[in-house]
Structure 1
Amino acid sequence: MDRRDFLKCTLTLAALAPLARLTAQTGAAAAGADAGTESGKLTRRRFRDTDLTLPLLGFGMMRLPQKNGAIDSAAGQKLVDYAMKAGLNYFDTAWPYHGGRSELFVGEALSRYPRESYLLADKLPVRSIKSLQDAERIFQEQLRKCRTGYFDFYLLHALNRGNWETVKRCGLYDFVRRMQKEGKIRYVGFSFHDSPDVLKTIAEAHPWDFVQLQINYLDWHNYRSREQYEIVTKLGIPVIVMEPLRGGTLATLTSEATKILKTSAPDASPADWAFRYVASLPNVICVLSGMNRMDHLKENLRVYSPLHPLSDSERLTLASALAAYQKVDSVPCTACNYCVPCPVEVAIPRVFGAYNQYKIDGNFAAFKKAIDALPNEGGPASCVSCGVCLKKCPQKIDIPTQMKRIAAELKKK
């Protein structure tokens, strides 16, 4: 898509207005007026027609600080404590995060706080389930690991066309609703990675309390996030956003794109722009960020304390920056790590991360050094095109083809 097309299609305030009216007309869950809009206080949004409010910034537990290959519990605890003190009390974990250790960390980190003082979200790993008994066993184990008697928000994880068949076959929707009736789940939703037509099928199949979607200004058209957002908004389903920075991609732009943003707002980082972009959508109730450093946490809290929605002119500036950034031939990897372990030990996310950084800064020597430093010869040349990763990637990246391309580029210099 060229700059003209993006400027024509990007979400301006004028385009937001009809969605805001639609939200009001259909009883959608975008909560209306923000709560906590005074300076220094984290903005919160009301959940549906309840008295519950969510912090606009949520803490994603997929990318916690690490030390010696494990979660750095001490550093992670400091982040959780700082977040709680700032009013950021929404924590999102999942069964596969950090090899199953994220839930254990969350249970330990939050155990020092009264249960009613925080909101906890977890997810049923649909891809790992073969029967209803699997779901029941895993759910009870999640409660134990998280040291809780209930989850505030519970999701059917990473639904797509294939996983939706598992949900139907194993009766998983009825199961989570049964857990809700028993008081072990407050609100039921799902996270999603597939095309808009599949989302429409799932969203219309049952009543849902909320949905978690991948939305950012890069994916608004590339990943068809706009269509997805509009589908659930028309159905009155509030949105929790994941990947607002596209796996960190939108935090480090090209020099040309960064200059455009800095000229407009010298004190704002590229990440600031990305976070404000998604939070400016009226049907978004929470934006998740996987923060593993204190400076990132503080910066993100600053952006949302309170939120200042993007103006019309700022959207045009962001569109110009995106047009500049899209000149780079990068791989749309979010470093979710769902594709690993690889059967031949290719370090897939690390390869893509090094390659994308090279495309941004042009430092081939650093790129080659990063690839050479991978353990077990886990570089792109080791890929045997077995295709195991293709079924796991939520971004639908043709990983073997990309590995061949990157390996060829390494040989050129």
Structure 2
Amino acid sequence: MEIRNYKPTMRYRPFGNRTDVLVSMLGIGAMRLPLTSEGAIDETRAVELIEAGLERGINYIDTAYVYNDGASEQIVGDVLQRGWRDKVYVATKMPVWELERPGDQARLFHTQLERLRVDQIDFYLLHSLNARYWQHALRSESLAWLDEEKRRGRIRFAGFSFHDDFDVFKTIVDAYDWDFCQIQYNYAQHDIQAGTRGLQYAHSKGIGVAIMEPLFGGFLTGPQMPPGASQLFEENGVNPVAGALRWIWNQPEPAVVLSGMSEKYQVKENLRIVETADVGVLTERERQVLEQVCRYMRENVPIPCSKCGYCLKSCPVGIKIPVVFDLYNKHLLVNRKHTLQPALYRGMLPSEKASACIRCGACKKHCPQSIDIPAWLEKVAAEFEGGDPA
């Protein structure tokens, strides 16, 4: 089998039976690269971060047309130009929701090739498929377009990323000869979206599986983790990052786990964890603690928002949806006692607050977690503003 950028301290797995490729078990997700104070990608830090992983044997970088308004693909292209193109595999995605007329695939794809500065994309995905976007992909003849680009050699392997339930996942898997897929999967959400059933079903078909959101946008570790969950890890001597990643790698089906690292210390920590990761290495203590944390999360975290930001562009008012949801979650997790969240909320602009919602519903179409955003915004407004939305 083909392997790029081999390093003895990295571990590799076959990317399904339909490719001839061994991918690093840890991959770089380029959606959460380091940012400047103005919110743009910090190019110098981003390149250094990615290369820190590649130098230790990571050989898979995942990006998308829409990440950081295209800047993510541009940064990945910068890295490839520094001598990495033939040493790593690049994955990027087609935003099927932007396909409105014939020729849109060609236009978007051409832009991606230019940003990445390549003439072939190793792993190409239809982005964020759910029941609605799947029908849109069919109407826009995206499967025939994938076939043609594979025939031309500009796409090597075709796949899709996914956010819906298992039945929709199975329908999509069975509809086309996919080489690979990408699903959201972690110990706290193993039975939602595609879930364990979807993971095992795709694997049984020989389809390679990439895992996204292993730490659910950082919510399963660090300062974003609910205090009660952190306490469970501390009391039992379990590292939350190691436990979460080892839980996934303890299963044979995931080929590559994509981590959206934004700091170099995260790269170093993940590299240390993957060195000893494999099927059967998860300890009984780790398993029990993860089950306890999972139960705690489900009982105490009201809004399952990963802060991906997909909803932001669709909001005609400019509500900072991920921010207000994060404030609400943290406020309720400590039972509304002595929290800074109300003061932080009061400091936001009126157009950024939950009460600015006009209930148009545009945001719901873009939420990978299928959150009823307008309904939750109404609850946030009632909590922090003491009344119904205007």
Deviation at 1:84, TM superposition (A): 1.3
Gaps in structure 2 of 5+ consecutive residues: none
Deviation at 1:388, TM superposition (A): 1.2
The alignment's TM-score, normalised by the length of structure 1, stands at 0.85
d(CA) in 1 for partners of 2:227, 2:40: 34
Aligned with 2:319 (options 332, 336, 346) = 346
**Higher-RCO chain (CA-CA 8 Å, sequence separation at least 6):** 1
Aligned with 1:401 (options 375, 384, 387) = 375
| Alignment-derived partner of residue 263 in structure 1 | 235
* Corresponding pairs, count: 376
d(CA) in 2 for partners of 1:364, 1:144: 51
* Equivalent AA in structure 2 for residue 173 of structure 1: L
* Equivalent AA in structure 2 for residue 379 of structure 1: K
d(CA) in 2 for partners of 1:217, 1:175: 36
Deviation at 1:295, TM superposition (A): 1.3
The DSSP-based 3-state class of the residue aligned with 1:211 is strand
The DSSP-based 3-state class of the residue aligned with 2:79 is helix
Q: For each residue in 1:18-53, what CA deviation from the matched residue of structure 2 results, as whole angstroms up to 9, or x when unmatched? A: xxxxxxxxxxxxx9xxx9897xx1211122355521
* Equivalent AA in structure 2 for residue 253 of structure 1: M
d(CA) in 1 for partners of 2:340, 2:168: 41
The DSSP-based 3-state class of the residue aligned with 1:116 is coil
* Equivalent AA in structure 1 for residue 286 of structure 2: E
Greater CA drift, 73-82 or 223-232: 223-232
Q: For each residue in 1:305-364, what CA deviation from the matched residue of structure 2 results, as whole angstroms up to 9, or x when unmatched? A: 231531344322211222233331321111111111211111001111222233345565
The DSSP-based 3-state class of the residue aligned with 1:154 is strand
Gaps in structure 1 of 5+ consecutive residues: 1-30
Q: Any residues of structure 2 matched to 1:357-396 within 5 Å, and which?
A: 357-361=330-334, 365-375=339-349, 377-396=351-370
Query: Structure 1 residues 222, 196: closer, same or farther in 2, change over 3 A?
Result: closer
* Equivalent AA in structure 2 for residue 186 of structure 1: R
CA contact (8 A) 1:132 1:172 kept: no
CA contact (8 A) 1:347 1:374 kept: no
1:42 has 2:10 as partner: yes
Aligned with 1:189 (options 146, 156, 159) = 159
| Alignment-derived partner of residue 66 in structure 1 | 35
d(CA) in 2 for partners of 1:374, 1:43: 45
Structure 1: 4+ residue segments shifted above 6 A: 35-38
Q: Any residues of structure 2 matched to 1:6-405 within 5 Å, and which?
A: 41-49=9-17, 51-67=20-36, 68-223=38-193, 225-251=195-221, 252-266=224-238, 268=239, 270-308=240-278, 309-341=281-313, 342-361=315-334, 365-375=339-349, 377-405=351-379
The DSSP-based 3-state class of the residue aligned with 1:403 is helix
Query: Structure 1 residues 118, 209: closer, same or farther in 2, change over 3 A?
Result: same
The DSSP-based 3-state class of the residue aligned with 2:91 is strand
d(CA) in 1 for partners of 2:217, 2:106: 31
Query: Structure 1 residues 45, 143: closer, same or farther in 2, change over 3 A?
Result: same
The DSSP-based 3-state class of the residue aligned with 2:108 is helix
Q: For each residue in 1:94-116, what CA deviation from the matched residue of structure 2 results, as whole angstroms up to 9, or x when unmatched? A: 01110122111111122112421
CA contact (8 A) 1:217 1:277 kept: yes
* Equivalent AA in structure 1 for residue 169 of structure 2: L
d(CA) in 1 for partners of 2:350, 2:270: 36
d(CA) in 2 for partners of 1:334, 1:364: 25
d(CA) in 1 for partners of 2:28, 2:301: 30
d(CA) in 2 for partners of 1:170, 1:254: 42
The alignment's TM-score, normalised by the length of structure 2, stands at 0.90
Query: Structure 1 residues 222, 201: closer, same or farther in 2, change over 3 A?
Result: closer
d(CA) in 1 for partners of 2:234, 2:338: 26
* Equivalent AA in structure 2 for residue 255 of structure 1: P
* Equivalent AA in structure 1 for residue 316 of structure 2: P
| Alignment-derived partner of residue 26 in structure 1 | none
Percentage identity across paired residues of the two chains: 35
The DSSP-based 3-state class of the residue aligned with 1:284 is coil
RMSD: 2.3
